[in-house]
Amino acid sequence: MPSVINIRPTRLEYIRTKRRIIVAKKGLKLLKLKRQALILEFFNTSKTIASLRSGLQAELIKGYQAIRMAEMLAGSMRLENEAMKIPQLSKLQITPKNVMGVRIPKIEGGKSNQALTEHLLELTPSINEAIKAFHNVHKMVIDVAEKETTLRKLLLEIEKTKRKSNAIENVFIPRLLAAIKFIIFRLDEMERDTFMMLKTVKRKMGEREQEALLKKEKEILA
């Protein structure tokens, strides 16, 4: 924004600057509302992550218990051999989604396929339970990763929105208000100058008219 020195003190510039102030205040209000919504989403996501981590911890404990049980019943060698035969899960796909103007990743995939389902039917119940438990762990890790990435991006957007609103509120709008004040001052000053000039012109015209009248009277009396 130009300094007040470079602003033309005209009524048109006054109207334009007033409009810019109105637009800036509306933009500031929207930014503050957006920041509040982002903060709310941030805390909701934080709660979701805490819940997911708690569930993940419980599922890990369940998975390790299932592995120990499978190892006791089927033997470590059988367990290792079956682990090597487990079909791969579907590949992960990351697609962006928009949350209040913030692009965050949506992670999909990593699901069991028909081959894995058929393979589980061939295993002993203890090994089957161990594989299912860690398959759940895999899905929960993906969910946690997605939410934690969302949390980081929300935090960055909150800080970005805060910087923008601070710049508008503490720099941009004060400069526009200073420009309005300068324009009003210069317009008043020019109005006073114009008034004084007209007053001077009127006085001089009156003096000339008076001189012309006196001169005419002298000519009549001569």
Provide the b/e sequence for 104-138 (b: ≥16 CB within 10 Å): beeeeebebeeebeebbeebeebbbbbbebbbbbe
Q: What was the pLDDT predicted at 3?
A: 53
Does residue 46 lie in a domain region?
A: yes
Measuring CA to CA, which residue among 157, 142, 122, 143 is closest to residue 41?
A: 157
Does residue 217 lie in a domain region?
A: no
Does residue 40 lie in a domain region?
A: yes
Q: What was the pLDDT predicted at 90?
A: 59
Cβ-based neighbours of 119, under 8 Å, separated by 6 or more: 85, 86, 87
Measuring CA to CA, which residue among 167, 169, 174, 178 is closest to residue 7?
A: 178
Q: 59 is in which domain, residue-wise?
A: 9-173
What's the CATH number where 114 sits? 1.10.287.3240
Does residue 169 lie in a domain region?
A: yes
Q: How many domains, in total, are found in the chain?
A: 1
Does residue 142 lie in a domain region?
A: yes
Does residue 184 lie in a domain region?
A: no
To which H or E segment does residue 71 belong? helix 11-74
Task: Give the span between the Cα atoms of 161 and 177, in whole angstroms.
Answer: 23
In order along its 222 residues, the chain shows pLDDT tens digits of 445 557 788 889 999 999 999 999 999 999 999 999 999 999 999 999 999 999 888 888 888 888 788 777 777 777 677 666 665 665 777 788 887 788 887 877 655 554 444 454 456 676 777 777 777 888 888 889 889 989 999 999 999 999 999 999 999 999 999 999 999 888 888 878 777 787 777 777 766 767 666 666 666 665
Phi then psi for 99, rounded to 5 degrees?
A: -125, 100
Does residue 122 lie in a domain region?
A: yes
Does residue 179 lie in a domain region?
A: no
